[in-house]
Structure formats: structure tokens, C-alpha cells
């Protein structure tokens, strides 16, 4: 093809593109790769990217087979599928912003471990929506997630199994029988509940 013919073809293509109707948003994302189960589905299925076995009831973080952004300026709620909950696998609901660019992760737990979840298991779904929140500052989430835009926090918990407020008590019966055991004290706010006040228990 001669240079003049190439220029003519390119000019025609540019002219056709200009005359075609414009789209509101040309941004694409992972939602373009996901398919709804039915024509009336509100969400699209999300599958796991790895094999995992839940050996405790603690919440585990699993990588999905999709990565942000969602596309078209949409955000999405992450919810569990009803069929999965019926099997004893529960999904912690999550929110993915339109500017999230990392791997979409699923928070999952079970009350009846151990449970194995094979790779490509469709255990969650994304329900897209368009957020109407006013933009107040130019901060993009990027690959961060799970509170990455807030101030760093250190949250401590006390393991009461190692230092429980206990007291050895002896319960005496009028017949002369007695029983000594360790019991957990109720500290309340500023008070201590004890049977000693009624003369029923002697502390040791």
C-alpha cells in the first residue's frame, strides 16, 4: 500500500471515530472480565486463586482471581454466596473503592474446621455500584487496603488465660464437708463480688 493510500485510510478511520457516539467512561477494569450467572444477577462471582485449608475458626485472608481497579469508576461490595454459607463457610463483607488497584482479597472463616477450599472456588460475589460521596482530598488508595488510608494503629488484647483474676475458695457445708477450688473473680467496675460477705465462703 502506497503512503498516500495509508494516509487516506487513516484519515477515514479518524473521521469515523470522531463521528461515533462517545462513552461516558472509557476506563476498563476487572468487572469487564467477570460474567454474571444470570441476566438478572446483581453481582458477579469471585473465585479463589489458591488452595487453602481453614484449620481454625479465625478469619483468613484469601487472594481472589481478580485485581483492581473495578473499572468504569465503579466501587463494589464483596459479599458471600448463599450456597457457600449453607455449607458452613462464611465471608466477611468488604468494600472495594473505585481507585483500589491491588489483588481483591476475600476474608473467610468457618465455625466447623477443618474445611478445605479448592482453587477457583466461587465463594464470594462483587456487587458493583457508583459511589455518590463528594471528593474532599486528592488521595488515591492504589494497592493499599484494609484501612491503609487511615492513621497507623496498634491494638492490644489481653490473654486472660495467662493471668486470670482467680481466688482459691473453700465452700463449707453444715454437715462438715468442704470443697476447695479456684474460681474466677468478678471485678466489675470498682467492686469485687464475693460470697465472703455473707459468711458462706472462707478465702484461703
Domain ranges in the chain? 24-129, 166-203
Q: Where in the chain does DSSP place strands (E)?
A: 44-47, 52-54, 60-67, 75-80, 89-92, 94-96, 103-110, 115-117, 122-129, 166-172, 178-184, 201-203
Q: What is the pLDDT of residue 173?
A: 85
Q: Rounded to an integer, what distance in angstroms lies between the CA atom of residue 17 and that of residue 197?
A: 90
32 catalytically annotated: no
Q: What is the pTM of this model?
A: 0.56
Q: 133 near 151, Cβ under 8 Å?
A: no
The per-residue pLDDT string of the chain (204 residues; one tens digit each, 9 = 90 and over) reads 555 554 564 555 445 444 444 344 446 788 888 778 788 889 999 999 999 999 999 999 999 999 989 999 999 999 999 889 889 999 999 999 998 999 999 999 999 999 999 999 999 999 999 988 887 666 565 555 655 566 666 555 555 555 667 778 888 888 888 888 887 776 654 544 444 454 544 444
Sign of the C-alpha dihedral, residues 41, 89, 117, 62?
positive
3-class SS of residue 28: coil
CATH classification code of 24-129 = 2.70.40.10
Beta bridge partners of 193: 186
- Catalytic, out of 25, 32, 51, 186: 186
Amino acid at each position: 500500500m502506497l503512503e498516500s493510500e495509508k494516509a487516506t485510510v487513516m484519515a477515514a478511520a479518524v473521521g469515523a471515530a470522531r463521528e461515533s457516539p462517545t462513552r461516558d467512561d472509557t476506563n476498563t477494569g476487572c468487572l469487564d472480565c467477570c460474567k454474571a450467572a444470570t441476566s438478572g444477577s446483581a453481582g458477579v462471582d469471585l473465585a479463589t486463586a489458591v488452595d487453602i485449608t481453614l484449620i481454625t475458626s479465625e478469619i483468613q485472608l484469601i487472594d481472589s482471581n481478580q485485581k483492581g481497579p473495578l473499572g468504569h469508576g465503579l466501587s463494589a461490595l464483596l459479599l458471600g454466596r448463599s450456597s457457600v454459607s449453607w455449607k458452613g463457610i462464611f465471608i466477611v463483607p468488604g468494600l472495594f473503592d473505585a481507585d483500589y488497584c491491588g489483588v481483591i482479597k476475600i476474608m473467610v472463616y468457618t465455625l466447623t474446621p477443618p474445611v478445605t477450599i479448592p482453587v477457583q472456588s466461587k465463594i464470594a460475589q462483587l456487587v458493583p455500584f457508583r459511589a455518590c460521596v463528594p471528593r474532599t482530598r486528592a488521595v488515591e488508595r492504589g494497592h493499599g487496603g484494609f484501612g491503609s488510608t487511615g492513621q497507623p494503629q496498634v491494638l492490644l488484647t489481653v490473654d486472660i488465660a495467662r493471668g486470670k483474676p482467680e481466688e482459691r475458695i473453700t465452700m463449707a457445708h453444715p454437715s462438715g464437708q468442704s470443697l476447695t477450688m479456684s474460681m474466677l473473680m468478678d471485678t466489675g467496675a470498682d467492686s469485687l463480688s464475693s460470697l465472703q460477705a455473707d459468711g458462706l465462703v472462707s478465702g484461703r
